[in-house]
């Protein structure tokens, strides 16, 4: 598996994978799916959009962008999406590791996740294994597709030059 920057010919697959997560309604805050035009604009508007390619197929993607501006502009944020039928095969970890490396290279110093949904056990286990720090719990901070509210767990990770050596 290789992780690389999104190319124009990846757009259809990237939109499809992103929309799977949005439509599941259990992880991303977005309500509306992307189409070809809005997807192209959305992904181009990020500091970096990466894709995981496995055997010629786009298995997942991430977006990386500032979490804030000005004096807090060194803090970034990211979101990850893995094709539904390919989850559990290490794609998420490959995406996160590449993202940490890319964030450092782009001059960010801290990665902050604002809203890791409490039921996303795979993501929580991965972030803990990689050294992310939990900041606490925001009760009922995420509204699931079924209308029920669920806790979110913000995290941070201090980026290091060593992340470049590990990715």
* Residue 166 pLDDT: 58
Mean pLDDT for each consecutive 10-residue tract of the chain (167 residues)?
97 98 94 97 98 95 97 97 93 97 97 96 96 98 95 97 70
CA 72 to chain centre: 20
Going from N- to C-terminal start, the domains of the chain cover 2-166
State both tokens at 109.
Answer: 């110093």
User: Strand 110-117 vs strand 133-134: parallel, antiparallel, or unpaired?
Assistant: unpaired
Answer whether 113's CB lies under 8 Å from 68's CB.
no
Tell me the whole-structure pTM to 2 decimals: 0.94
What are the distances in angstroms from CA 134 to CA 16, 22, 62, 127, 153? Answer: 30, 24, 21, 9, 7
Q: Which CATH class is domain 2-166?
A: alpha beta
* Residue 162 pLDDT: 81
* Residue 47 pLDDT: 98
């Amino acid at each position: 598996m290789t992780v690389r920057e999104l190319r124009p010919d990846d757009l259809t697959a990237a939109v499809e994978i992103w929309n799977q997560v949005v439509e599941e309604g259990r992880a991303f805050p977005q309500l509306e799916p992307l189409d070809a035009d809005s997807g192209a604009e959305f992904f181009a508007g990020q500091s970096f959009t990466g894709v995981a390619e496995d055997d010629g197929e786009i298995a997942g993607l991430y977006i990386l962008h500032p979490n804030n501006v000005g004096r807090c502009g060194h803090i970034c944020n990211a979101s990850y999406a893995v094709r539904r039928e390919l989850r559990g095969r290490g794609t998420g970890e490959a995406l996160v590791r590449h993202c940490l490396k890319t964030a450092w290279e782009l001059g960010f110093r801290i990665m902050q996740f604002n809203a890791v949904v409490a039921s996303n056990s795979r993501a929580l286990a991965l972030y803990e294994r990689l050294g992310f720090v939990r900041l606490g719990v925001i009760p009922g901070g995420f509204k699931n597709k079924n209308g029920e509210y669920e806790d979110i767990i913000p995290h941070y990770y201090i980026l290091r030059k060593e992340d470049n050596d590990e990715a």
